[in-house]
């Protein structure tokens, strides 16, 4: 505690010093008229421009100009370094945009090549067109473009960003003596907009001048608030625009060559399927996936899980991650549940006879169909419907003497359903009702969760209220229904230099959404207070600084028993040299009562007072070589438990095509106490064994990419994860939460390795169409012999049995309107020839 006490005053002195500087410094802002919301008019044209980035069509020069950009950061509300001019035109098919980003030093324009949707990770300038067709200040389509014509697009909603959303649109860019030029065609089929005579769309344009780390916007945006859409301007003038028939098909075929270490020979097979998108009307779209295939999805980063909780993995399947923002309301739908491990995965092992082995046991249920309907109408009503189905899943047992086989069902046909209604309200507010339903007909099992969520903000965005109530229900034949609840309440001031958040979340002891959702644990009441003071303007050597104090108090819901009390102070500062430093200090003065580690409800393991430090430092991202390091320390003096983790992530950008990143992370957890096993006596009384262990973990990732052009790229990712638990002493857990020495005959040591390689070549050979080749390699090993030499352990790992998969996939995008147009031209050509 003495060392923490020395750090705390220094940290507070630093915060007061920066706050004092802020009070003495201010930037001269533009006059108030320049900071008002703006409007630009789009003009109807007869002949569409050729999208080539030349802007030689005469009409471009006569259109109204959206100029007079305003700096967003680092000096909010001032003139940006260089001017920008944007013009808008439209016809019956699309919105056309020309953009001129003036720059007197075109050779200095940053233009690193990268893959689609990676623009913000690249060393490149870019221009972004943000469109809100319903002008609702909540739902936005973003189209980004770099000088190398790298496209990026995503959707924004009240629950965040959907980076996996991809539209089919055209663009071209050129760099000239005056700067760089972008020319864009956004088909109406890529958007959803109201069916009205006069369109009024919310809009803003963002320009990133990378070498100065400067962002500017056409319509001024206050950088002290996250609710940026309320500052957006409008584009008007579009009249009598009809939403086209939005119908597209994306058929695909994938061929595989695979080698499983449990099977002697290589296997060969092919899969084909179809994705379909159909606009049901101007507001709602049907997305359907027939016979899906996810074999090329990046490998999960598997870990050694010593906790009592499930590991949550990110969703990487595009259908389930694209356009699902509405289904994320209330936090009750975890898309990885669809097609996950069978509910009775271990049933074949439990059913095996004396001479039987498990010859086949699929780790995932097979999806046979998935459908989404989603959209929002002119009155701001959003509706979403998701339905997925998985077929019967079987494990196979084989008699090693007779060769006979028999099947064990691990999960019957299952239906997954989500229905959501989401209504926009004034001032970036909304109200939502959502329901998830998990149904296994053969088992007469049904899990149902209903949630409602309300967000209310005032006009000035100085006060926000968020409330949520979820109710879970489980029904099974001959069993009594189970019900549970969870609620969340929060009030906050989400803008300005001083901000606060006060919240409470209560999760009942019977609340269980995990058939389709994800919840680590229930039975908790959690209270949170956060106070922050933020510096948004440059002060001396500081560009921005974010300072916060948080306190968390948690108890069980039933009975009302103490869990923990934690205090934390955090500072994150970005300096004028673009270095970023983040520091956090925390303390749990009363320790932590862990009701989950014993693995039996009603038991507790008590940890003593503890405190820790987090420190992260990153150098200038604009440099060819960038370095980032992370240090985290935790100390539990009462039981001599000490943890330290250290990571470095150097990145070398060799040129605008080739970059390499190495991430090295090491963690050592000394004298960690954790559950080992539970043994029951003849009367059913448990003995819970804990162990004192040293846990050592390496997690190293090497990533490299080579970009041939804006349509073709090669990426490589190799990960080696090594974790071991070396048990030093064993204990039994008492009912009061303390540990007593004991003997334990089993060897609980664990030495776990996971090695994966993902190599992908992708070529976007036509709009919305792609050819991809993927090589995936997987090695998993686990034993009870501890190896203390990293290189010896790594050598043994890569020489172990491994799974290899080579696949090639072709997906072709077919747009009904383009097919119709081509067919019409063919008929006219034939008639002319006759």
| 416 within 8 A of 386, measured Cβ to Cβ | yes
**Length of the chain measured in residues:** 834
Whole-number pLDDT of residue 263: 76
CA dist list (Å): 568 to 17, 548, 554: 20, 8, 15
Whole-number pLDDT of residue 26: 40
- Cα–Cα dist 484/492, whole Å: 27
Which among 692, 719, 696, 710 has a CA at the least distance from the CA of 777? 719
CA dist list (Å): 304 to 248, 521, 754, 783, 786: 43, 19, 9, 12, 14
Whole-number pLDDT of residue 831: 59
- Matching residue, tokens 């001024």: 220
Phi, psi of 68 (to 5 degrees): 55, 55
In which region does residue 294 sit, left (phi positive, over 0), alpha (psi from -120 to 50) or beta (all else)?
Answer: alpha
Task: Write out the two tokens for 311.
Answer: 């590991």
Per residue in 729-755, is it b (16+ CB within 10 Å) or e — as a string?
ebbbbeeebebeeeebeeebebbbbbb
Whole-number pLDDT of residue 265: 84
- Cα–Cα dist 181/179, whole Å: 7
Whole-number pLDDT of residue 234: 96
Whole-number pLDDT of residue 427: 86
- Which residues make Cβ contacts (< 8 Å) with residue 571, sequence separation at least 6? 11, 14, 15, 545, 546, 547, 581, 582, 583, 584
- Matching residue, tokens 């013009």: 87
Per residue in 487-522, is it b (16+ CB within 10 Å) or e — as a string?
bbebebbbbbeebebebebbbbeebbbbbbbbbeeb
Whole-number pLDDT of residue 10: 46
The H or E element spanning position 44 is: strand 43-44
Which among 486, 485, 470, 478 has a CA at the least distance from the CA of 436? 470
- Cα–Cα dist 26/41, whole Å: 35
Which among 156, 603, 619 has a CA at the least distance from the CA of 376? 156
Q: Could you report the average pLDDT of every consecutive run of 10 residues in the chain (834 residues)?
A: 43 44 50 85 95 94 95 94 97 95 96 93 96 89 96 83 86 96 94 89 97 96 90 95 86 94 85 89 85 87 94 88 83 94 92 89 90 86 93 93 92 96 90 96 94 94 95 91 96 95 97 96 97 94 96 97 98 96 98 96 94 97 95 96 97 95 97 96 94 97 96 96 96 94 92 97 93 96 93 94 95 84 64 62
Q: Is 329 exposed, middle or buried (0-12, 13-18, 19+ CB in 10 A)?
A: buried
Whole-number pLDDT of residue 326: 84
Collapse the DSSP code of 668 into the 3-class scheme (helix H, G, I; strand E, B; otherwise coil) and give the result: strand
| 632 within 8 A of 647, measured Cβ to Cβ | no
Which among 4, 3, 1, 2 has a CA at the least distance from the CA of 585? 4
Query: 148: cis peptide before it, omega within 30°?
Result: no
| 249 within 8 A of 814, measured Cβ to Cβ | yes
- Cα–Cα dist 333/354, whole Å: 41
- Cα–Cα dist 336/317, whole Å: 9
Phi, psi of 466 (to 5 degrees): -130, 125
Report the 10 Å Cβ neighbour count for 792. Answer: 10
In tens, the pLDDT along 196-225 reads: 899 999 999 999 999 999 999 999 999 998
Phi, psi of 228 (to 5 degrees): -80, -25
* Cα radius of gyration rounded to whole Å, the chain: 29
- Cα–Cα dist 490/529, whole Å: 10
Collapse the DSSP code of 720 into the 3-class scheme (helix H, G, I; strand E, B; otherwise coil) and give the result: strand
Whole-number pLDDT of residue 22: 41
| 545 within 8 A of 573, measured Cβ to Cβ | yes
Query: 559: cis peptide before it, omega within 30°?
Result: yes
- Cα–Cα dist 726/721, whole Å: 17
Collapse the DSSP code of 119 into the 3-class scheme (helix H, G, I; strand E, B; otherwise coil) and give the result: helix
Beta strands in 333-443 (DSSP E): 356-360, 367-376, 381-390, 393-399, 405-411, 414-425, 429-440
- Cα–Cα dist 398/587, whole Å: 56
Dihedral (CA of 528, 534, 536, 540) sign: negative
Whole-number pLDDT of residue 35: 83
Beta strands in 458-579 (DSSP E): 464-476, 482-493, 498-507, 524-535, 542-555, 562-575
Whole-number pLDDT of residue 816: 82
- Cα–Cα dist 553/505, whole Å: 11
């Amino acid at each position: 505690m003495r060392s923490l006490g020395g750090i705390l005053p220094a940290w507070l002195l630093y915060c007061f010093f920066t706050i004092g500087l802020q009070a003495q410094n201010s930037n001269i802002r533009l006059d108030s008229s320049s900071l008002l919301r703006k409007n630009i008019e789009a003009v109807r044209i007869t002949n569409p421009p050729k999208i080539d980035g030349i802007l030689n069509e005469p009409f471009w020069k006569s259109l109204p100009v959206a100029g007079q950009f305003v700096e967003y950061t680092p000096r909010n509300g001032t003139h940006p370094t260089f001017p920008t001019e944007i013009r808008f035109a439209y016809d019956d098919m699309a919105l056309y945009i020309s953009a001129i980003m003036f720059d007197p030093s075109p050779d200095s324009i940053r233009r690193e090549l990268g893959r689609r949707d990676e623009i913000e990770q690249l060393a490149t300038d870019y221009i972004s067109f943000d469109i809100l067709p319903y002008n609702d200040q909540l739902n936005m389509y973003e189209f980004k473009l770099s000088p190398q014509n790298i496209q990026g697009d995503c959707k924004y909603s009240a629950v965040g960003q959907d980076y996996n959303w991809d539209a089919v649109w055209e663009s071209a860019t050129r760099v000239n003596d005056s700067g760089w030029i972008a020319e864009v065609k956004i088909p109406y089929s890529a958007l959803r907009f109201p069916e009205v005579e006069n369109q009024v769309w919310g809009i803003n344009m963002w320009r990133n001048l990378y070498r100065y780390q400067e962002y500017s916007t056409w319509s001024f945006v206050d950088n002290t608030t996250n609710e940026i859409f309320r500052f957006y301007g409008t584009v008007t003038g579009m009249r009598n625009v009809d939403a086209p028939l939005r119908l597209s098909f994306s058929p695909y075929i994938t061929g595989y060559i695979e080698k499983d270490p449990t099977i002697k020979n290589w296997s060969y097979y092919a899969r084909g399927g179809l994705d379909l998108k159909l606009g049901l009307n101007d507001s709602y779209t049907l997305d359907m996936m027939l016979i899906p295939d996810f074999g090329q999805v990046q490998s999960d980063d598997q870990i050694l899980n010593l906790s009592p909780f499930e590991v949550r993995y990110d969703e990487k399947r595009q259908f389930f991650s694209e356009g699902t923002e509405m289904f994320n309301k209330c936090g009750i739908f975890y898309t990885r549940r669809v097609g996950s491990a069978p509910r009775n995965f271990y049933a074949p092992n439990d059913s095996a006879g004396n001479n039987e082995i498990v010859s086949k046991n699929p780790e995932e249920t097979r999806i046979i169909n998935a459908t989404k309907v989603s959209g929002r109408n002119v009155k701001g009503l959003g509706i979403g419907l998701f339905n997925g189905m998985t077929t019967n899943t079987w494990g196979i047992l084989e008699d090693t003497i007779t060769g006979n086989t028999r099947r064990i069902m691990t999960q019957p046909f299952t239906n997954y359903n989500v229905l959501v209604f989401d209504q926009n309200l004034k001032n970036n507010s909304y109200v939502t009702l959502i329901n998830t339903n998990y149904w296994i007909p053969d088992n007469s099992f049904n899990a149902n969760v209903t949630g409602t969520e309300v967000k209310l903000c005032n006009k000035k965005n100085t006060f926000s209220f968020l409330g949520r109530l979820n109710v879970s229900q489980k029904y099974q034949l001959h069993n009594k229904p189970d019900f549970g609840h969870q609620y969340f309440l929060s009030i906050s001031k989400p803008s300005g230099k001083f901000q606060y958040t006060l919240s409470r979340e209560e999760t009942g002891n019977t609340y269980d959404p995990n058939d389709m959702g994800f919840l680590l644990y229930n039975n908790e009441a959690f209270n949170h207070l956060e106070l922050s003071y933020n510096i948004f303007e440059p002060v001396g050597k500081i560009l921005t600084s974010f300072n916060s104090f948080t306190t968390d108090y948690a108890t069980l819901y039933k009975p009302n028993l103490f869990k923990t009390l934690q205090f934390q102070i955090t500072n994150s500062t970005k300096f004028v040299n673009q270095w970023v430093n983040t520091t956090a200090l925390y303390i749990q003065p009363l320790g932590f009562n862990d009701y989950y580690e014993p693995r039996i409800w009603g038991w507790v393991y008590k940890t003593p007072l503890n405190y820790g430090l987090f420190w992260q430092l990153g150098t200038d991202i604009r440099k060819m070589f960038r370095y980032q390091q992370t240090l985290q320390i935790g100390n539990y003096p009462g039981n001599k438990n000490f943890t330290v983790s250290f990571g470095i992530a150097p990145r070398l950008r060799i040129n605008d095509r080739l970059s390499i990143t190495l991430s090295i992370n090491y963690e050592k957890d000394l004298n960690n106490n954790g559950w080992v096993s539970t043994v029951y006596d003849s009367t059913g009384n448990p003995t819970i064994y804990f162990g004192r262990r040293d846990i050592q973990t390496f997690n190293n990732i090497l990533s490299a990419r080579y970009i041939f052009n804006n349509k073709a790229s090669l990426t490589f990712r190799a990960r080696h994860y090594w974790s071991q638990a070396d048990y030093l002493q064993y204990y039994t857990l008492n009912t009061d939460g303390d540990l007593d020495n004991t003997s334990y005959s089993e060897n609980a040591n664990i030495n776990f390795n996971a090695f994966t390689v993902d190599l992908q070549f992708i070529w976007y050979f036509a709009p919305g169409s792609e050819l991809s080749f993927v090589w995936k390699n997987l090695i998993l090993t686990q034993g009870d012999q501890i190896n203390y030499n990293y290189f010896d352990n790594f050598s043994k790992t890569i020489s172990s049995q491994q799974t290899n998969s080579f696949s090639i996939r072709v997906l072709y995008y077919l747009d009904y309107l383009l097919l119709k147009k081509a067919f019409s031209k063919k008929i006219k050509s034939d008639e002319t020839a006759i």
